[in-house]
């Protein structure tokens, strides 16, 4: 049976009784590390497109989309058909060559701009984004013979020991220690929270200048690193978009010093920002690209590195993983990419992104508690500031809860979870965006029940 939904519809309290029963069972039996059900208390029965239905028959617009994994939404029929066909041939193939893997390799290299696909190689990882991050760090160290890594404050790269070591958030590391020596953090171009105390109109990309100063100073305290690891948009960090000047200066510096630039496209890749890779919008060529999340288009796990051929200095078995040969993910990934091309999905991302920017910009102009709206394509964040005795994180949590009550699933990110994040499927329609934004407007109004006017603080900006 083909499922079809036309609008969110919440019939019960959230959670409803049947969802609550399953949530209670989960709480008893699963680890305390579980996350999403704590704040989005639903038990999912089924899903289609941009919608999920819980056990109580409540239908929600899903603007979390598997944390950005479900680029074509839930159960896209063309991708499901490709998976079913592949099931009859081969499911697991380690790293042996197969027709499905060869087609996937060809498709991914073919999406690199210019002649990069002819000069780059692909490496199949663990198959998670965090595993691919660790693979990238290992490759950079092997290729350069150096050991230190430069990362950026606010970045998120995963929860394994090595990936967590290059992640900015110190909270998760406090109990387990830093799992990787030689990691050095530098300021990211987060202009609203500039760590150098500057403002955009008086700054000459001083964060990049500081990085250059330290790495070129014999007394700077940081050895020439094996790699510089960079997110172009810090997704979990609050949808913080790096400025073009910052990224280009980092690229120029790493090229001058012969340091591999590793761009983490786990969340921004596969069309999320309106181009297949976010780095295309900055007119740079990274040395190593990390991709995962939406590669399969349907949530099947797969992750890869794409990197310059001259960096290919692995020894056999230097980075392996039993599940790196997921044939279903390869088949679905090729089908998903075919659909992206044929249906102008990237064009839809750009059009819907403009729709979001206009609506959220209007919202920010009249709500004093909104500090900034920012994003690219279909990766957006609304940052809330401290207002009327409430912290930005408290306000954001209230808005998220109001959204869920009205039938919209969204998540939080950024410093202290003060940013409401929108990550809809790339196939989301104009009408679905309109409904979701109406819900966001209503949820913000519910979280700010008293009418107020902007004070003398810096006005909200749309970036």
Tokens of 286: 């990274």
- Where exactly are the structural domains of the chain? 17-76+345-462, 79-342
The architecture that CATH gives domain 17-76+345-462 is: Alpha-Beta Complex (3.90)
| Half-sphere exposure for 82 (CA within 13 Å, toward CB) | 24
Q: Which residue has the tokens 């060869």?
A: 102
CATH placement of domain 79-342: 3.40.640.10
Tell me the average pLDDT across 143-159: 97
Quote the pLDDT of residue 369: 93
Quote the pLDDT of residue 75: 97
Tokens of 135: 């693979």
Tokens of 252: 């120029």
What is the spatial distance between Cα 122 and Cα 135, in angstroms, rounded to a whole number?
Answer: 12
Tell me the average pLDDT across 15-39: 97
Q: Which residue has the tokens 């210019």?
A: 114
Would you place residue 202 in the very low, low, confident or very high pLDDT band (cuts 50, 70, 90)? confident
Average pLDDT score over the chain: 95
Quote the pLDDT of residue 387: 87
Give the residue among 371, 374, 361 at the shortest CA–CA distance from 454: 371
Tens digits of residue pLDDT in 309-361: 999 999 999 999 999 999 999 999 999 999 999 999 999 999 999 999 999 99
Percent of the chain with pLDDT over 70: 96
Give the residue among 38, 36, 41 at the shortest CA–CA distance from 10: 41
What's the chain's Rg over C-alpha atoms? 22
Query: Rounded to 5 degrees, what are φ and ψ at 35?
Result: -125, -70
| SS3 of residue 262 by DSSP | strand
Buried b (16+ CB within 10 A) or exposed e, 414-435: bbebbbbbbbbbbbbeeebbeb
Quote the pLDDT of residue 195: 80
Pairing of the two strands 379-384 and 370-376: antiparallel
Quote the pLDDT of residue 191: 83
Would you place residue 118 in the very low, low, confident or very high pLDDT band (cuts 50, 70, 90)? very high
* pLDDT reading at 456 higher than 70: no
Quote the pLDDT of residue 173: 85
For residues 169 and 178, the answer to whether their CB atoms sit within 8 Å is: no
* pLDDT reading at 463 higher than 90: no
Would you place residue 460 in the very low, low, confident or very high pLDDT band (cuts 50, 70, 90)? low
Tell me the average pLDDT across 432-461: 75
Question: H/E element holding 84?
Answer: helix 77-87
* pLDDT reading at 459 higher than 50: no
Contacts of 437 (CB under 8 A, 6+ apart): 355, 356, 359, 360
Tens digits of residue pLDDT in 67-92: 999 999 999 999 999 999 999 999 99
Tell me the average pLDDT across 441-445: 97
pTM of the model: 0.95
Tokens of 375: 């994003």
What is the spatial distance between Cα 371 and Cα 155, in angstroms, rounded to a whole number?
Answer: 20
Angle at 365 between CA 364 and CA 369, to 5 degrees: 50
* pLDDT reading at 147 higher than 80: yes
Query: Rounded to 5 degrees, what are φ and ψ at 125?
Result: -110, -160
């Amino acid at each position: 049976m083909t499922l079809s939904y036309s609008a969110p519809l919440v019939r019960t309290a959230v959670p409803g009784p049947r969802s609550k029963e399953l949530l209670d069972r989960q709480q008893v039996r699963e680890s305390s590390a579980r996350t999403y059900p704590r704040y989005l208390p639903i038990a999912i029965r089924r899903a289609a497109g941009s919608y999920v239905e819980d056990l109580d028959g409540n239908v929600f617009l899903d603007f979390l989309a598997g944390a950005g994994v479900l680029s074509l939404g839930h159960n896209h029929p063309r991708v499901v058909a490709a998976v079913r066909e592949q099931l009859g041939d081969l499911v697991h193939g380690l790293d042996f060559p197969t027709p499905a893997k060869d087609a996937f390799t060809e498709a991914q290299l073919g999406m690199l701009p210019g002649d990069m696909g002819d000069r780059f190689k692909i490496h199949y990882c663990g198959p998670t984004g965090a595993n691919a991050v660790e693979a990238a760090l290992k490759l950079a160290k092997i290729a350069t013979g150096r050991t230190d890594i430069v990362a950026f404050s606010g970045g998120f790269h995963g929860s394994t020991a090595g990936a967590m070591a290059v992640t900015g958030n110190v909270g998760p590391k406090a109990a387990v220690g830093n799992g990787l020596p030689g990691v050095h953090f530098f300021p990211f171009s987060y202009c609203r929270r500039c760590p150098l105390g500057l403002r955009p109109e008086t700054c000459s990309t001083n964060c990049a200048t500081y990085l250059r100063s330290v790495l070129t100073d014999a007394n700077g305290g940081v050895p020439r690193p094996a790699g510089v690891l960079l997110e172009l948009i810090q997704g979990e960090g609050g949808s913080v978009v790096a400025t073009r000047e910052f990224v280009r200066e980092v690229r120029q510096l790493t090229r001058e010093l012969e340091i591999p630039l590793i761009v983490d496209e786990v969340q921004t890749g596969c069309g999320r920002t309106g181009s297949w890779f976010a780095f295309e919008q900055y007119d740079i060529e990274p040395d190593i690209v990390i991709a995962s999340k939406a590669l399969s288009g349907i949530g099947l796990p797969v992750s890869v590195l794409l990197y310059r051929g001259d960096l290919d200095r692995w020894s056999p078995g230097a980075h392996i993983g039993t599940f790196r040969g997921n044939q279903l993910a390869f088949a679905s990934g090729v089908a998903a990419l075919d659909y992206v091309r044929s249906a102008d999905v990237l064009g839809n991302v750009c059009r819907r992104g403009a729709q979001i920017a206009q609506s959220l910009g209007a919202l920010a102009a009249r709500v004093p508690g909104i500090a900034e709206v920012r994003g690219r394509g279909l990766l957006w964040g609304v940052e809330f500031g401290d207002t009327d005795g409430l912290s930005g994180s408290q306000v954001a949590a209230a808005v998220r809860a109001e959204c869920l009550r009205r039938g919209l699933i969204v998540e939080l990110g950024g410093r202290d979870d003060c940013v409401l994040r929108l990550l809809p499927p790339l196939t989301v329609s104009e009408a679905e965006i309109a409904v979701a934004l109406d819900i966001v407007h209503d949820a913000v109004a519910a979280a700010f029940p008293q009418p107020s006017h902007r004070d003398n603080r810096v006005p909200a900006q749309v970036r």
